[in-house]
Amino acid sequence: MKVGIIGLGFVGLSFASVLGSKNHSTLGFDSDKKKSSQIKNGKPPFYEPHLEETLNQALRKGLEITDNIATIVKSCQIIFVTVGTPQGNDGSINLSMVKSAVEEIGKHLKYSKNKPIIVIKSTVVPGTALDVLLPILVSKSRKKPGKDFGLITNPEFLRESMAISDTVNPHAIVLGGTKDRFMNAIKKFYENLHKNTPIIATNNQTAEMIKYTNNSFLATKISFINQISNICQLIPGANVEDVARTIGLDPRIGHLFLNAGPGYGGSCLPKDVAAIINFSNSLGINPLLLNAVKQVNDYQLKHVILTIKRAIGTLKKKRITVLGLAFKPDTDDIRDSVSIKLIQSLLKQGAKIIVHDPKAIENTKNIFKEKISYAESLDDALRKSQCCVIITPWKEYSKINERHLQLMEKRIIVDTRRILNNSKLKMNYYPIGIG
């Protein structure tokens, strides 16, 4: 079955590249012409491990990039919609991109004999597929759902920095829709693609809810351990690492997503928690726990700043190094990154900031321009520094050694990820979560 993918961001481009590299006939489309032509030339518009080689393999094998949604609607049996659903001011999601993608599909479907399965991978709140997208498809195409086309909700669980391996080996496939031939066909497609992955077939609204439940549970785990971490930090000798490692051995808890730190960031967890809170409020349900998850996360940045102040006193005119700008290692993505918020706050308080990141410097320059200094090496970042704050746990930061510390004016390290905790370095060390 020929596959079309509309929206070539992290999800769409990873999926298109993996399918194409497996010789699957795939057509990709992105409305951003510049991005689209970069992709055509084998250059991903963002950094993601193994994406570039997978994309280039795909372009040699099954993947083609088109400038025309009509071609996709005419020729593809499955059309995936993988456009973004950014956050609005009140926490709700902005559906404009997904609506306009579906409108375009509907318009072209009107004149086509093709009977495609339209698969929504974009993250949308429960009810969106049936109450918002289906009416658009029907009114634009004048075709009948279940007869002329199918509408399936298929949330994505891939992680940035692991996008290719998660696309090759997903832990589950969720398919929401009506039990009809379109559902059977998409099930078969996934059974062929992933032989041993569980497939959960349900209705659209449950599939939409599963995605929010998944991400808000992950956020809950992080806020939980951050809360515990802040308590540990005030108990002399207590260590959140040992606490997390030990409770993680209980199979009912599990060890993943219990790394205390400066709070969760990125383009998904903050946005999805805000959206489910907003959605819950709109139903008249007070989302007490989810509000607390968000509040704990918002507080965590303040906690880091308080720790810095405890280490160096006033911030005014202090030369502070921030290590790590990306919201996590192995990506250049700085969307909703805690580092960016930290730098904004430190600047407001008069600190002089020098930053380092192996991949995310260029993106950061677009935000801060000349207001901060950008170091190309760890040496340059630490030279004459009066305090170093480790935010993103890039591997190379765990190799900080005596020579690096000698470059600093003061050997003060605030380590939000405790990556230097086992080193024997002589420094004034302020780890988050260790009392």
Query: Is 268 in the active site?
Result: yes
| Of 1, 70, 157, 311, the one binding ligand UGA by CB under 6 A | 157
Q: How far apart are CA 181 and CA 241, in angstroms?
A: 50
Q: Considering the complex, state which of residue 143 and residue 159 has its C-beta at the smaller distance from ligand UGA.
A: 159
Q: Considering the complex, state which of residue 189 and residue 264 has its C-beta at the smaller distance from ligand UGA.
A: 264
Which residues are bridge partners to 394 per DSSP?
none
Q: What one-character DSSP code corresponds to residue 48?
A: -
Q: How far apart are CA 309 and CA 301, in angstroms?
A: 12
| Of 122, 167, 223, 259, the one binding ligand UGA by CB under 6 A | 259
| Of 264, 394, 397, 430, the one binding ligand UGA by CB under 6 A | 264
CA distances 6 to 70, 73, 121, 298, Å, are 11, 10, 10, 34
Kindly state the smallest distance separating residue 163's Cβ from ligand UGA, in Å: 8
Q: Which residues have a Cβ under 8 Å from the Cβ of 191 and sit 6 or more positions away? A: 199
141 near ligand UGA (CB under 6 A): no
257 near ligand UGA (CB under 6 A): yes
Candidate list 76, 232, 268, 388, residue with the active-site label = 268
Q: Residue 255, Cβ neighbours under 10 Å: how many?
A: 14
Of residues 198, 78, 40, the one with CA closest to residue 13: 40
Of residues 46, 7, 295, the one with CA closest to residue 124: 7
Kindly state the smallest distance separating residue 230's Cβ from ligand UGA, in Å: 13
**Contact predicate 381/352, CB 8 Å:** no
Q: How far apart are CA 205 and CA 134, in angstroms?
A: 12
Which H or E element spans position 389? strand 387-390
Q: Considering the complex, state which of residue 307 and residue 385 has its C-beta at the smaller distance from ligand UGA.
A: 307
Kindly state the smallest distance separating residue 90's Cβ from ligand UGA, in Å: 20
Radius of gyration of the chain from Cα atoms?
24
| Interface map 299-338 toward ligand UGA (x if CB under 6 A) | ----------------------------xx----------
**Contact predicate 120/11, CB 8 Å:** no
Kindly state the smallest distance separating residue 316's Cβ from ligand UGA, in Å: 29
Cα diameter, the chain: 72
| Of 3, 109, 152, 158, the one binding ligand UGA by CB under 6 A | 158
Strands ordered across the beta sheet of 412-415: 373-374, 352-356, 319-323, 387-390, 412-415, 428-431
Stretch of 52-60, 153-161, 350-358, 375-383 contacting ligand UGA, by CB under 6 A: 153-161
Kindly state the smallest distance separating residue 177's Cβ from ligand UGA, in Å: 20
Kindly state the smallest distance separating residue 30's Cβ from ligand UGA, in Å: 17
261 near ligand UGA (CB under 6 A): yes
Kindly state the smallest distance separating residue 393's Cβ from ligand UGA, in Å: 8
Backbone phi and psi for residue 363, each to the nearest 5 degrees, phi listed first: -60, -35
| Of 30, 48, 104, 156, the one binding ligand UGA by CB under 6 A | 156
Q: Considering the complex, state which of residue 130 and residue 268 has its C-beta at the smaller distance from ligand UGA.
A: 268
| Of 13, 39, 55, 258, the one binding ligand UGA by CB under 6 A | 258
Antiparallel, parallel or unpaired: β 3-6 and 199-202: unpaired
**Contact predicate 8/39, CB 8 Å:** yes
**Contact predicate 338/326, CB 8 Å:** no
Q: Which of residues 191-250 bind ligand UGA (CB under 6 A)?
A: 215, 218, 222
| Interface map 18-57 toward ligand UGA (x if CB under 6 A) | ----------------------------------------
Q: How far apart are CA 242 and CA 227, in angstroms?
A: 15
Stretch of 94-102, 137-145, 155-163, 427-435 contacting ligand UGA, by CB under 6 A: 155-163
Catalytic residues: 268
Binding site for ligand UGA (CB under 6 A): 123, 156-160, 215, 218, 222, 257-259, 261, 264-266, 268-269, 327-328
